[in-house]
Chains A and B, each alone.
Chain A
Amino acid sequence: MDGFLALYIFLLAAFTGHEIISRVPVILHTPLMSGSNFVHGIVLVGAMVALAHADTPLAKAIGFLGVALGAGNAAGGYVVTERMLDMFKSSKGK
């Protein structure tokens, strides 16, 4: 990937992150932190690719660790966020 192209992606993604969170009410800060914590669990995908390419025992061990930790981030992050958001109900609803 061209360095400048990557820089554009970095910048645009940063603006997006800044924009979508700036309208968040305080009541959702904790679930949102938890939700964004889940989203960076996508690191799992990078770790999977790294482990797939690993050919020495050391590289395999590091890759294994990376995949396990990334999977933990994604799975744990999803469960707790979903549990929290499941509880938000309006008195006007239902």
Chain B
Amino acid sequence: MNLDMATLLPTIAKASYLIAAVLFILGIKRMSSPVTARKGIVQAGIGMVLATLATFAITGGDNLGLIIGAIALGVIPTWLWGKKVAMTDMPQMVALFNGMGGGSAAAIGAGEMIKFVHTGAVPSKTTLVLAVVGALIGSISMSGSVIAWAKLDGRMDKRFTFPGQQYFNLLVFIVTLALGAMLVMKLEVPIIVAFFALALLVGVLMTLPIGGADMPVVISLYNAFTGLAVAFEGYVMQIEALIIAGMVVGAAGMLLTQLMAKAMNRPISGVLFSNFGGGGQSAADIKGSMKPIEASDAASLLYMADKVVIVPGYGMAVAQAQHKIWELCKQLRERGKEIKFAIHPVAGRMPGHMNVLLAEAGVPYDLIVDMDEINPEFATTDVAIVIGANDVVNPVAKTDKSSPIYGMPILDVANARQVIVIKRGKGAGFAGIENALFYQDNCKMLYADGQAAAASLSTELKQIDGGGGH
């Protein structure tokens, strides 16, 4: 074997890429259990650093200043921003970082196409097709993610629709595909420019009509898109680590998107091509009335209960009430009550988002129970506290076929002996649907801001037994 530097370095780099790919896969696998998750991300991080260092070795100092400058420009602001962003804002943050990855893949595609034009090199058709497809998917992922970020961050109106929108979008998409096909036949700079402009436009158009409730599915889909784009451009660049990591993320992301869409009872096609909410039915067939309750009475219900289940929704996170709720729960636990947190798959803004928010407040993950596991338990629950959740506990999802949320899996809170709903006012939920649970006989409404309600429940509880934990 020839051991001069010119052949040794590429071999070391290839070996490093292989190790990085293995670390990524093991890392993602470890992230699938709460016990090992922390180690998983660190492991994947080591893989990333290793692959980056190896790349410095093989690029041999060409444009070194530019590369280091670009890395600094990319790393420093995102690192600082990521360190201080609030946990509630995590979904849009992930969307934004994902968009950057898509943009990077698209830039690789653009750069390679321009290079082929300038050098007159004739790449294989496979290379060209994958460069074009990767660039298309990456561009859609980038502009779409930016729109998703703007929407979730409240920087843009929730939805933007106009008549014939779907046909217009379809037309733009077809033209983009046609331009892509032309590029595969013959590369020309004006067509490259038009192709990228339209590809970015497709991402914007696709995302504009989608409402906030469906956004998690879309972010997950774009995450998978970026993975695919990275894999395809990895083939163009002949770097196996990109193909493996991109494809693993692409496949995992597609599965995750399906799981989320299923949890929300929304087919992916429904998310992308139709509009959510809108013409809900009237509440004419809901009988009964909403019964208010005072904090002191609610506290005595809790005092007498043996088993209490908390049902948190995004409203709790908005009110920043999770810390106060956990304090209340700790008091209840000191008094020997069994406490559980029931989590709907789409509580929060992404599946698992609520778990992150509760974890931030210090709630141990073994008290947090998934929907399928907790639903049979509601029948033996003395008090269920619903805070900031609405549509995910609405029994009409099971009973009213005309309801837009009909068929969505819900938490069977209605089966608990007593239900206390902490709510600011009498308004309907995110999807604008009246909640039949609130009108049930066993349901009492505690009208207050989430944080204030949790705090007054704690105080009232202490007054009942003088603060003793016996």
- Across the interface, do B94 and A60 meet the contact criterion of CB distance under 8 Å? no
A58 to B240, CA, bound (A): 27
Q: A30-B351, A63-B107 are in contact. Are A46 and B343 (CB under 8 A)?
A: no
Within residues 47 to 74 of chain A, which ones have a CB less than 8 A from any CB in chain B? 47-54, 56, 58-60, 62-74
- Across the interface, do B44 and A39 meet the contact criterion of CB distance under 8 Å? yes
Contacts of B48 in A (CB 8 A): 38, 41-42, 44, 74, 78
A15 to B67, CA, bound (A): 34
- Across the interface, do A70 and B356 meet the contact criterion of CB distance under 8 Å? no
- Across the interface, do B114 and A30 meet the contact criterion of CB distance under 8 Å? no
- Across the interface, do A45 and B70 meet the contact criterion of CB distance under 8 Å? no
Contacts of B365 in A (CB 8 A): 27, 88-90
Q: A20-B29, A76-B97 are in contact. Are A51 and B63 (CB under 8 A)?
A: yes
- Across the interface, do A15 and B251 meet the contact criterion of CB distance under 8 Å? yes
Minimum C-beta distance from B86 to chain A (A): 11
Contact of B66 among A64, A80, A85 (CB under 8 A): A64
Contact of B249 among A36, A66, A70, A84 (CB under 8 A): A36
Q: A29-B260, A68-B70 are in contact. Are A42 and B255 (CB under 8 A)?
A: no
Minimum CB distance partner of A76 in chain B: B78
Main secondary structure of the interface of A (DSSP, over half): helix
- Across the interface, do B70 and A43 meet the contact criterion of CB distance under 8 Å? no
Minimum CB distance partner of A84 in chain B: B356
A86 to B108, CA, bound (A): 33
Q: How many A residues, CB 8 Å from partner?
A: 82
1/0 per residue, CB under 8 A from A, across B41-82: the answer is 110110010011001101110110011011101110111011
- Across the interface, do A44 and B104 meet the contact criterion of CB distance under 8 Å? yes
Minimum C-beta distance from A3 to chain B (A): 5
Minimum C-beta distance from A39 to chain B (A): 5
Minimum C-beta distance from A54 to chain B (A): 6
Contacts of A92 in B (CB 8 A): 364, 366
- Across the interface, do B67 and A52 meet the contact criterion of CB distance under 8 Å? yes
Minimum C-beta distance from A35 to chain B (A): 5
- Across the interface, do B103 and A40 meet the contact criterion of CB distance under 8 Å? no
Minimum C-beta distance from B392 to chain A (A): 13
Minimum C-beta distance from B215 to chain A (A): 13
- Across the interface, do B70 and A27 meet the contact criterion of CB distance under 8 Å? no
- Across the interface, do A50 and B237 meet the contact criterion of CB distance under 8 Å? yes
Q: A34-B90, A75-B82, A83-B83 are in contact. Are A26 and B345 (CB under 8 A)?
A: yes
> B226 in the interface, Cβ–Cβ < 8 Å?
yes
A25 to B101, CA, bound (A): 26
Contacts of A88 in B (CB 8 A): 34, 37-38, 355, 359, 365
A67 to B108, CA, bound (A): 9
A53 to B111, CA, bound (A): 10
1/0 per residue, CB under 8 A from B, across A1-20: the answer is 10100100110011111101
Q: A10-B247, A42-B245 are in contact. Are A84 and B87 (CB under 8 A)?
A: yes
Contacts of B103 in A (CB 8 A): 65-66, 69
A71 to B28, CA, bound (A): 19
Q: A29-B256, A42-B48, A69-B107 are in contact. Are A1 and B238 (CB under 8 A)?
A: yes
- Across the interface, do A13 and B75 meet the contact criterion of CB distance under 8 Å? no
- Across the interface, do A39 and B248 meet the contact criterion of CB distance under 8 Å? yes
A79 to B94, CA, bound (A): 11
Minimum C-beta distance from B264 to chain A (A): 12
1/0 per residue, CB under 8 A from A, across B3-29: the answer is 000000000000001001000110111
Minimum C-beta distance from B214 to chain A (A): 15
Contacts of A90 in B (CB 8 A): 34-35, 364-366
> B32 in the interface, Cβ–Cβ < 8 Å?
yes
13 residue pairs of the A-B complex, CB under 8 angstroms, read A20-B248, A30-B94, A31-B31, A36-B252, A37-B97, A45-B242, A46-B104, A52-B62, A67-B74, A71-B75, A74-B74, A75-B74, A80-B94
Residues on B facing A (Cβ under 8 Å): 17, 20, 24-25, 27-29, 31-35, 37-38, 40-42, 44-45, 48, 51-52, 55-56, 58-60, 62-63, 66-67, 69-71, 73-75, 77-79, 81-83, 85, 87, 90-91, 93-94, 96-98, 100-101, 103-105, 107-108, 110-112, 114-115, 118, 124, 126, 219-220, 223, 226-227, 229-231, 233-235, 237-253, 255-256, 259-260, 263, 343, 345, 348, 350-353, 355-356, 359-360, 362, 364-368, 370
Residues on A facing B (Cβ under 8 Å): 1, 3, 6, 9-10, 13-18, 20-54, 56, 58-60, 62-93
Complex A-B, nearest 6 residue pairs according to Cβ-Cβ distance, in ascending order: A71-B74, A66-B107, A17-B251, A91-B364, A79-B82, A76-B78
Supply 14 further A-B pairs (C-beta < 8 A) apart from A40-B223, A70-B100, A90-B35. A17-B253, A27-B370, A28-B352, A29-B256, A36-B227, A42-B242, A42-B245, A43-B226, A67-B71, A73-B78, A79-B83, A84-B359, A88-B37, A91-B366
